[in-house]
Amino acid sequence: MHKDTYGLTVQMEQTEVPYPFPTTTKNMLRLVGTSDDITSAINAFRPSYHEDFANVQRVARPYLNGDPTPENSTALAVALATALCHWSACMRRSPRLHSIQHISDGLADKQMHTRLAELGRHDLEAFNLDSDNSRILRTSSPVQDVRAFDIGLIALLNNLAELLFLSCTRATYPMKALLLITGLMPAFDSQVTDGLKRAGKTGFNNPHHLPTNTKYAGDRRICELPFYLGNCWSLHREDFQKGIEKSLRKELKAAPGRVFDILLFMQADPSRKLILAV
């Protein structure tokens, strides 16, 4: 059992995988579409999904930037539970949500708030790859150690699964919660993983189990994803920003993790033009 800096716990085995994980240029994501393609994908994305994200973000900001007061925690619990239900968490064969009171109490926990607030302060551009294609965190990142980031992310996803759901063994739903609260990175639902496969990224299967250790390839992919996306955003920032600026959702300029979620979701449709590829 590993306990990280913030007291979040998760079963962690010893790993012999070297840090940083080795990456290769053939796996690096690139923007192959145009700014017009980005605009088209954002505008074609289901409006209710845009609104769900905006509604959670509206109450997540006071929670992440302030104290986990009962008011802030309850407002976030209500918006989060509502959005998760809209995003299929309440459907048959999906994990059932805990009560609003249970979720609110968990969000009010200082350790949970500290970790969520820390991830919420991460800009996607803080994640990158160096000239050797090893994962690096920029000096602007609240966490400066890649392994510490991995352990914290894995622990937090497991804690979110326990906090939000009666029984959850898949990464998809806690990743959706993390996306809604922090906007950091996409969730591995079937559309996003299909979008990654169509981009040429291998090994992304759905359903994806909750991560427990980075010695497992599937768990490493969760930890690696922000770095691939951050690298892609940094390389093509001007085109991304131009595409968002021309869209109906200009506020997404401040949420690159959400933009990638949308683009990967939309490019899962084989009839649409490819926007991201290796």
Q: How far apart are CA 41 and CA 64, in angstroms?
A: 29
pLDDT for 1: 44
- For the segment 3-25, the average pLDDT, to the nearest whole number, is 46
Does the model's pTM come out above 0.85?
A: yes
Q: What pLDDT score was predicted for residue 7?
A: 45
Q: Would you say residue 108 has pLDDT above 80?
A: yes
Residue 181 is which amino acid? I
> If residue 31 lies in a helix (H) or strand (E), which one and from where to where?
strand 30-31
Note whether 189 and 172 are within 8 A (CB).
yes
Smallest CA-to-CA distance from 28 within 207, 208, 233 is with: 233
Q: pLDDT digit string (tens) for 183-223?
A: 999 999 999 999 999 999 887 766 688 999 888 888 999 99
Task: Report domain extents, the chain.
Answer: 2-10+19-277
Q: Please indicate whether residue 15 or residue 94 has the higher confidence score (pLDDT).
A: 94
DSSP letter assigned to residue 7? S
* CB of 261 closer than 8 Å to CB of 87: no
Rg (CA), the chain: 18
- Is 149 exposed, middle or buried (CB count within 10 Å of its CB: 0-12, 13-18, 19+)? buried
235-275 per-position pLDDT tens digit: 999 999 999 999 999 999 999 999 999 999 999 999 999 99
Residue 17 pLDDT level (bands cut at 50, 70, 90): very low
pLDDT digit string (tens) for 231-245? 999 999 999 999 999
Would you say 223 and 157 are in contact if contact means Cβ atoms under 8 Å apart? no
- Average pLDDT of the chain? 89
pLDDT of the residue at 12: 44
